């Protein structure tokens, strides 16, 4: 599958990861790791380099086993397109029915071992309650009464968040795809166009360039108080036909080879009104302050404080995080800060402030989604793309989405 335009990971990268995870096992006194790939981020891919939504068992000593629940998935290794890929885990087993996770653990001689589990909890916003179904985990516990299981999700995710040179190449490709998707959406936008057509342009460009589009928040109109998936996706209607005076925003979750980058596409139709022009200035100030401050040795808490300062000084509130890690998304700055100070929102069912989630010392190889969003009452502007921490500071991987684009 070698192609200079479409990078892949090598077995050397696999071995680097396994060494890091086995060092983690030594530190925690574990005989194995059991990693769930269920949920949005499919964390088993860190061990398998595949997107099977399976479970992977990595012993401290011995070869790993990956478990999947679909026979169609296991057969996919044996046709012409499947054979083109070098598999990181040769031992892939079909589980379900009479043969399950506990049987694999027993087969590997780990029935009475101390095993670290990834998937019982998570820092990831979409997986805070874990990703392993209750009945699945109950069967494992019932079948392995002598095993000792300990939740190591946070420590595993911390290993993932620092990227190697091979992983950075994948992130760059992902961000490049997101940049092209952003350009396609800007080109498709004009008064009289449905927001669904703008989204379709980004989806098309993402897939055309070898990436995957994971649908994120989208909203168009003269005000944007909600920030979630578009209503028209579930309720029909085709989306709003946008006109002068409308804004349109979309948070792109672009993936390449399992690596996520993010781009905040914010468009305004016609000349921005004073509110949107002001909010653009505030969001841009937050973005620039974060890029200027970002460097190895800075803590995540310090980065958040730098990016929050322009919003607090301007009397704005923020709907989503101003910054978060990507690949995986596990550290987030605070959200809904200052929401209760907005007179135009009186009487609405306002959500509480969600504080910053955790802290760590930033090192080279960490990637962030910069997404400073400045809100005043019901209006919002959100900017930003993916920013990589280097030995010397910060490298911006996106540019088109770092400003309010007027169409």
pLDDT at 59 > cutoff 90: yes
CA distances from 292 to 74, 303, 366, 369, 395 (A): 48, 10, 16, 15, 10
> 375 is written with which tokens?
């809100």
- Domains of the chain (ranges; CATH) run 11-160 (3.40.350.10), 165-406 (3.90.230.10)
Tokens 């989604």 belong to residue: 369
At 2 the pLDDT is 53
Q: Say if CB 88 and CB 49 are below 8 A apart.
A: yes
> CA-based Rg of the chain, rounded to a whole angstrom?
22
Rounded Cα distance between 405 and 24, Å, is: 45
pLDDT at 329 > cutoff 60: yes
159 band by pLDDT with thresholds 50, 70 and 90 = very high
Other beta carbons less than 10 A from residue 347's beta carbon:
5
In terms of Cβ atoms closer than 10 Å to its own Cβ (0-12, 13-18, 19+), residue 371 is buried
Mean pLDDT, rounded, for 36-62: 95
| pLDDT tens-digit map of 195-248 | 999 999 999 999 999 999 999 999 999 999 999 989 999 999 988 999 999 999
Percentage of the chain beyond pLDDT 70 is 100
**Taking Cα atoms as reference points, which of 337, 346, 281 lies closest to residue 310?**
281
> 89 is written with which tokens?
């885990």
At 198 the pLDDT is 97
Cα separation of the two ends of the chain? 40
Mean pLDDT, rounded, for 37-41: 90
| pLDDT tens-digit map of 108-147 | 999 999 999 999 998 888 788 899 999 999 999 999 999 9
At 48 the pLDDT is 98
Rounded Cα distance between 56 and 65, Å, is: 6
Mean pLDDT, rounded, for 254-283: 97
Mean pLDDT, rounded, for 315-341: 95
98 band by pLDDT with thresholds 50, 70 and 90 = confident
Rounded Cα distance between 250 and 380, Å, is: 12
User: Across all residues in the chain, what is the average pLDDT?
Assistant: 96
Q: Say if CB 371 and CB 265 are below 8 A apart.
A: no
**Taking Cα atoms as reference points, which of 285, 287, 286, 303 lies closest to residue 363?**
303
At 123 the pLDDT is 85
Mean pLDDT, rounded, for 71-79: 94
pLDDT at 370 > cutoff 80: yes
Contacts 24+ apart (CB under 8 A), 8-12: 8/257, 9/49, 9/166, 9/167, 9/170, 9/257, 10/166, 11/86, 11/88, 12/166
At 96 the pLDDT is 87
Residues in the chain: 407
190 band by pLDDT with thresholds 50, 70 and 90 = very high
pLDDT at 342 > cutoff 70: yes
């Amino acid at each position: 599958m070698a192609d200079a335009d479409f990078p892949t990971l090598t077995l050397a990268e696999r071995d680097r990861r396994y060494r890091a995870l086995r060092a983690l096992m030594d530190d925690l006194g574990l005989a194995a790791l059991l990693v769930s790939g269920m949920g949005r981020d499919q964390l088993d891919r860190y061990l398998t380099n595949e997107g099977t939504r399976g479970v992977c068992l990595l012993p401290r000593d011995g070869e790993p086993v990956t478990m999947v629940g679909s026979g169609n998935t296991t057969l996919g290794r044996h046709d012409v397109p499947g054979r083109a890929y070098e598999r990181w885990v040769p031992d892939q087993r079909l589980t379900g029915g009479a043969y399950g996770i506990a049987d694999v653990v027993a087969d590997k001689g780990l029935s009475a071992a101390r095993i670290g589990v990834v998937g019982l909890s998570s820092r990831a916003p979409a997986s805070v309650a874990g990703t392993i179904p209750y009945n699945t985990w109950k069967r494992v516990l019932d079948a392995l009464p002598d095993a000792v299981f300990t939740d190591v999700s946070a420590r595993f995710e911390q290993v993932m968040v620092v990227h190697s040179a091979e992983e950075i190449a994948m992130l760059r490709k992902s961000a490049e795809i997101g940049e092209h998707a952003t350009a396609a959406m800007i080109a498709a936008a004009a008064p009289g166009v449905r927001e669904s057509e703008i989204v379709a342009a980004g989806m098309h460009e993402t897939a055309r360039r070898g990436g995957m589009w994971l649908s994120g928040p989208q909203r168009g109109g003269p005000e944007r108080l909600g920030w979630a998936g578009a209503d028209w996706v579930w309720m029909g209607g085709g989306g709003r036909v946008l006109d002068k005076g409308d804004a349109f925003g979309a948070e792109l979750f672009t993936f390449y080879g399992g690596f996520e980058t993010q781009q905040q596409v914010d468009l305004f139709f016609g000349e921005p009104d004073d509110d949107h022009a002001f909010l653009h200035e505030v969001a841009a100030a937050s973005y620039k302050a974060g890029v200027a401050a970002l460097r190895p040795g800075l803590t995540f808490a310090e980065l958040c404080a730098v990016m929050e300062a322009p919003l607090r000084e301007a009397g704005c509130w923020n709907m989503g995080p101003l910054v978060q890690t990507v690949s995986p998304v596990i550290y987030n700055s605070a959200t809904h800060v200052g929401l209760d100070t907005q007179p135009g929102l009186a009487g609405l069912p306002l959500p509480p402030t969600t504080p910053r989630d955790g802290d760590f010392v930033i090192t080279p190889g960490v990637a962030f989604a910069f997404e400073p969003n400045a809100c005043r009452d019901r209006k919002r502007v959100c900017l930003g793309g993916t920013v990589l921490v280097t030995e010397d500071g910060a490298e911006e991987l996106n540019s088109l989405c770092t400003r309010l684009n007027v169409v």
